[in-house]
Amino acid sequence: MKVNYIIDPRVKGRVTFRSVAPIAQENVLPLMEVILRLNGVAVVEDSGLYRIIPISEIAREPAAIGIGRTEKNVKLQGTALLQVIPIRYTLSSEIVKLISPFLSTNAALVDVPRTNQIVVVDTDANVKRLIQLVNIFDSEQQKQHGPQVFVYHVQNSKAKDIVTMLQQIFLGASPGSEKAAAKTSYTQSGRTSQTTADTHGSVQSKQGSTSNEALLSDIARIYANESINAVIIVGTPEDYETIKETIRKMDIVPRQVMIEGVVAQISLKDNMSMGLAWSMNAGGLGSQIALNPGSLNSDSLPGSGFSYVAMDAAGTIKAVISALASESKAKLLASPHILVSDNREARIQVGQSVPIPTSETIASASVPAQRTIQYKDIGIILKVKPMINDSGLVTLDIVQEVSTYSTLLLYSDEKQIILNKTEVSTNLVVQDGQTIVIGGLIREDASKSKSGIPLLIKIPILGYLFGNTDIDESRNELIILLTPHVVKSRKETDELTKGFVNKMTEKEKDMKRDEILQNVKRHKQNEKGQ
């Protein structure tokens, strides 16, 4: 062969070879490499010197380095070769799994996931065969089965909520923190766009169970982009189609509930001293109301001050409140109308924010004290969370708070704010359009006023002789009426809005009519006076 060679002392044995035809000189060395490899021996070239070593040492020996995946660039010299093979259309980890069974004995194969490449150390003949396999498995035809990035824009829900549910269904694990560089390949028409990964990190997902593995590939991942309200999917097109169909079933227009509320305050005096429900049941108002025991939730109302929760299907209580208002025994505090999505909380507040000192810092005697103030909402605060079922029933989670504040005079002649709060939570099931009545919250207020001869009533000790102190006590009951109206379509929403606008327009006309009548009446009185 006219080459310099050296035999490792560990290589021993004799090989018999017989040829029936002449062998060209350029084919002798590759042929010898095959014969030696069959006998557990490898040939390694080092600066023109061919070393014959045990094949188990081939991966540790210096070898020629090649880069790329072009088969014709690999020259068959019957020596070991270290080849760096870039992977274009799929994951390097997947290619490693596919070609590992075709390695020579004691050859080495290394996965480089960060650059999506593989490194193989083997004989040059086997390296050439492995490149052929890579070109087959990692081809343009396999591109559609490789990892890609898809974006689905959510229309009617929050992408974060959709992703949380999808991860529970498909992945059973939270998204990883690894990122992959990507380039846009094309944009689909409609609401989705697709990008193809150019370089890949360790893109794999933890499957929750065996059944989940059949739904998605092990490279699938799902992310939420809250800024654009979109779901980002990393996976194969088959993964995307499966996830997309699930998102479409979840991303539907939510049903809504129009909650019509009335908050009224009734003065408890004369025949109303025992409260609205008591007076109506006793016939003191000439009408009756039947409280529905099934609407009570005693577990939610202990010690709350609410004595009843009733249904007012016939509108009896509304009529009674209107009658009492005409006699100045009732006052409408608020009449809110709010539209809320299914299973979302609505909050209605009628009140004010009170500043409450939370801390005080005194740096020195010469510097005024610095106070930290926190504002607290007080008044009538109503929280309602509706849940609608297919039969039209509406389940209402209600949290009602009624709070006031008073002041306490401290020894330092400083007034301290005290909050008085009554809170109740309950759960009710009502029909669409049925009115709920929450009542029985009775509050007693007392106010003091002084009257007498000016200046003289301020004389110490003797001042009480020239004046008197009046204590005005009042008792009031708070009544809340809630009427949920299920809105199933945008057309119904528009109809409710138009109806509300028409009501406001009619009220505005009535106010103008009353103003005109008052002006006419005042003009007639002026004419009589003249």
Token digits for 117? Answer: 């490449």
pLDDT of residue 410 exceeding 80: no
Confidence of residue 259 (pLDDT cuts 50, 70, 90): confident
Output 331 or 188, whichever has higher pLDDT. Answer: 331
State mean pLDDT over 320-326: 67
Are 154 and 231 in contact by the 8 Å Cβ rule? The answer is: yes
What are the pLDDT digits (tens) for 340-351?
A: 888 889 888 888
Nearest to 42 by CA among 28, 58, 27, 29: 58
- Average pLDDT of span 61-90: 82
Mean pLDDT confidence for 24-29: 74
| Residue 369 φ then ψ, to 5° | -65, 140
Backbone angles phi, psi at 271, to 5 degrees: -80, 0
Q: Which of 31-35, 77-81, 227-231, 303-307 has the highest mean pLDDT?
A: 227-231
- For residue 481, name the pLDDT band (cuts at 50, 70, 90): confident
Task: Indicate if the pLDDT at residue 292 is higher than 80.
Answer: no
Note whether 171 and 218 are within 8 A (CB).
no
What is the average per-residue pLDDT within 69-92?
84
* 125 touches 37 (CB < 8 A): no
Is it the case that residue 5 has pLDDT exceeding 70? yes
Q: What is the pLDDT of residue 189?
A: 32
Instruction: Give the pLDDT band of residue 313 (cuts 50, 70, 90).
Output: low
Q: What pLDDT score was predicted for residue 85?
A: 93
Q: pLDDT band at 286, cuts 50/70/90?
A: very low
pLDDT at 212 exceeding the cut of 50: no
Local confidence band at 365 (pLDDT 50, 70, 90 cut-offs): confident
> What confidence category does residue 499 fall into, taking pLDDT thresholds of 50, 70 and 90?
confident
Distances (CA, A) of 79 to 42, 113, 336: 7, 28, 87
Bigger pLDDT: 205 or 239? 239
CB of 344 within 8 A of CB of 385? Answer: yes
